[in-house]
Amino acid sequence: MKHGPSSESATPTVTGFSPGFAALGLEAPLLTTLETLGYEEPTPIQREAIPPLLAGRDLLGQAATGTGKTAAFALPMLQRISHAAKGRPSALVLVPTRELAIQVGEAMQRYGKELRTSVLPVYGGQAIGPQLHALKRGVDVIVATPGRALDHIRRGTLKLQEVKIAVLDEADEMLDMGFADDLEAILAGTPKTKQTALFSATMPPRIRAIAHRHLQNPIEITIAKEPVKAGTAPRVQQTAYIAARPYRAAALARVLDVAGANAVLIFCRTRLEVDDVTAMLAGRGHRAEAIHGGMSQSQRDRVMQAFKAGQTELLVATDVAARGLDIPQVSHVINYDLPSSAEVYVHRIGRTGRAGREGTAITILDPREQRLLRTIEQHTKARVAVLPIPSVADLRAKQLGRIQGAVEQVLRDGQLETFMPLVDRLSAHPPAAVAAAALKLLIRAQGGEREEQEIPAMPVRQPELGRPIRDTRHSGGRLHGGSARAERPPTGRTRHGGREAGMARVYVGAGREVGIRPSDLVGAIANEAKVHSNVIGAIEIEERFSIVDVPASMVSGIIEVLSRARIKGRKVSVRIFRE
């Protein structure tokens, strides 16, 4: 797929709409918002999807997480419903998880600010009262998980007769989680004249079957995987750290503090993100400068000269602003956002490890971007090691180690005569205490006494390199378009997945007799216990009980929460399952 022209001119200005987005047909209020948010140019999926969606066409899009899908459907959706009557929902977005519902809802609130569009995320695990109140008051856009949406529809509190646009986001994951029947029931309650868009990272036959039933003559878009030669950057050590969205900035700061690097290029997705990250790093004592399309050429020249001269240790940039920059001495490249394609990823990390030197590439990874990372690995034929975020103890040990090395180097260099009179004046104190006090002052001057918080660990997917990246869990026996009966082993059990190391088994006192499905258990655990659905392992559903594999480290918390929750509208017994 060919990319459109850059949205930056030779001398970009701070104000004015991005010609890249303006050319897609978006109206002034949305362009103003995008300018405020610092978006510089459309991603490929945005460039391809926005015009047909604005024209009212149905759309079937294949694109991975991190490609800009949310803006690709949200911007035309907001523009098309901006003149609709307020009160009942005009747009519906269905997503697989609570986390994604919150994320998409927040994004649509930001995009729709100038249009005064009201957006309501609807998901399990939160009190239903505020949702009922908001629905009664009236909202324009509903972003919902299928289970909670269906719950409101059956209560009569969510009415979809006025829906003009429906979007299924991460459709393959919704099917993997067993939501196929729920999706059919929800879409059946929407007008046949509505516009429908379906986005999926993969396009198996079951996704095409849904598209055939619910999309009318759709435009099909595939954001193709960019061809990348194997071993493009063999001298670059590649690592990634997984951090939940609220902790991304803290994870970046921690990784930088541990690395102790002094010639780092940090890539962000938008101008606003560049400014926020630069301010955060400067506030922690780093010499950081920003470079993006909202700066004049003279400003960019000044920043580049300071970085090349070593006066700046961290350069925070967008991809657009970094094009054509000659920066030969970069020791580290950090992706604060995982780029949307392998081509962009390789181009970024290729800025380190030049001229025979080894380089380091680090990615701060959203938990949902792990599949995209594995796709990049398959294209580059290079493993990206996913490491735990350094702890506070790791940081302190690294800081002390660097101080020790610096002191030993000064001792080797000698020429300490100037400081000996001060040492003599402090001779009333034990020599070790004097040395420790001096080291404390040095660490304090470097910001090393700053209070630090531990960053929560996130689960890691580690499929073998070269295997298909496909999560077939939480499917309720519908992995390949077959029925649940066809997937059951001869014992009559509905089995889901396989046992994994480090997992514990949880007994849930409800089964097929009351209509329990894998999606019910996944939804209850993910939403009530506030854990990502990806960490849930095998599920077995018997006639009167079910067994779920969960991480052993989380089992006590999950049992405690589920014991208070309702599954299929009823209280159930929950305990550790003993073989």
231 Cβ partners below 8 Å, 6+ apart? 380, 381, 382
Position 94 scores a pLDDT of 96
Instruction: Tell me whether residue 464 is exposed, middle or buried, using C-beta atoms within 10 angstroms of its C-beta: 0 to 12, 13 to 18, 19 or more.
Output: exposed
Both 312 and 364 in one domain: the answer is yes
Cα separations in angstroms, 51 against 27, 54, 57, 65, 219: 12, 5, 9, 21, 11
- What CATH number did the domain enclosing 503 receive? 3.30.70.330
Task: List pLDDT tens digits, range 63-78.
Answer: 866 678 899 999 999 9
Which residues are registered as beta bridge partners of 222? 62
Position 56 scores a pLDDT of 95
Instruction: Say yes or no: 107 and 195 in one domain.
Output: yes
Tell me if 370 is assigned to some domain.
yes
| Domain of residue 153, CATH code | 3.40.50.300
553 and 411 inside one domain: no
**Are 410 and 556 within one domain?**
no
| Residue 437, in any domain of the structure | yes
What is the four-CA torsion angle of 126, 130, 136, 140, rounded to 10 degrees? -70
Cβ 408 vs Cβ 452: under 8 Å: no
13 belongs to a structural domain = no
Q: Classify residue 137: in a domain, yes or no.
A: yes
Report DSSP letters for 360-372, one per residue: EEEEEE-GGGHHH
> What does the alpha-carbon distance between residue 375 and residue 360 come to, in Å, rounded to a whole number?
20
Residues 6+ apart with CB under 8 A from 544: 509, 510, 511, 513
Location of structure tokens 């405690």: 560
**Contact criterion met (CB below 8 Å) for 275 and 290:** yes
| Placement of tokens 């629905």 in the chain | 135
Does the CA dihedral 479-480-483-485 come out positive or negative? Answer: negative
Do residues 90 and 206 share a domain? yes
Residue 12 maps to a domain? no
194, 222, 250 - which closes a domain: 222
Query: Which tokens in the block code for residue 205?
Result: 């036959």
Instruction: Mark whether 420 and 513 lie in a shared domain.
Output: no
Q: From start to end of 413-514, where are the E strands?
A: 494-496, 503-508
Is 380 in the same domain as 291?
yes
For the chain, residues with pLDDT lower than 70 are 1-19, 64-66, 85, 87, 224-235, 323-326, 328, 354-357, 445-450, 461-502, 533-534, 578-579
The per-residue pLDDT for 349 is 86
Q: Same structural domain for residues 60 and 195? A: yes
b/e map 152-173, b = 16+ CB within 10 Å: bbeeeebebebbbbbbbbbbbb
One domain, residues 340 and 435? no
User: Is 36 part of a structural domain of the chain?
Assistant: no
CA distances from 507 to 75, 312, 378, 555, 562 (A): 44, 56, 38, 11, 11
**Looking at residue 65, what is its pLDDT?**
64
Supply the pLDDT for residue 487.
29
**pLDDT in the model for residue 489:** 31
Q: At what angle do helices 431-445 and 392-413 cross, to 10 degrees?
A: 110
Residue 111 is assigned to a structural domain of this protein: yes
Residue 558, token pair as written in the block:
């999950």
Strand order in the sheet with 195-200: 119-122, 141-144, 91-94, 165-168, 195-200, 59-62, 219-222
Burial 488-525 (b: 16+ CB within 10 A, else e): eeeeebbbbbeeeeebbbbbbebbbeeebbbbbbbbbb
- Residue 277: in which H helix or E strand, if any? helix 271-283
What letter represents residue 139's amino acid? V
- For the chain, the domain total comes to 4
499 in the same domain as 403: no
Identify the H or E element spanning 131: helix 128-137
Measured between its terminal Cα atoms, the distance across the chain in Å is: 54
Q: How far is CA 29 from CA 62, 109, 165, 468, in A?
A: 28, 13, 20, 42
Residue 476: the pLDDT is: 34
SS3 191: coil
> Of 387, 406, 434, which residue sits at a domain end?
387
Backbone conformation region of residue 217, classed left if phi is above 0, alpha if psi is from -120 to 50, else beta: left
My answer on whether 275 and 419 are in the same domain is no
Task: Say if residue 72 is in the same domain as residue 200.
Answer: yes
CA 101 to chain centre: 13
CA–CA separation, 558 and 504 (whole Å): 11
In a domain, 540, yes or no: yes
Q: Which of 196, 190, 84, 101 is nearest to 140 (CA)?
A: 84
pLDDT at 88: 80
Q: Which domain holds residue 58?
A: 43-222
The residues, any chain, with a CB within 8 Å of residue 414's CB and separated by 6 or more, are none
Asked if 218 contacts 168 with a C-beta cutoff of 8 angstroms, the reply is: no
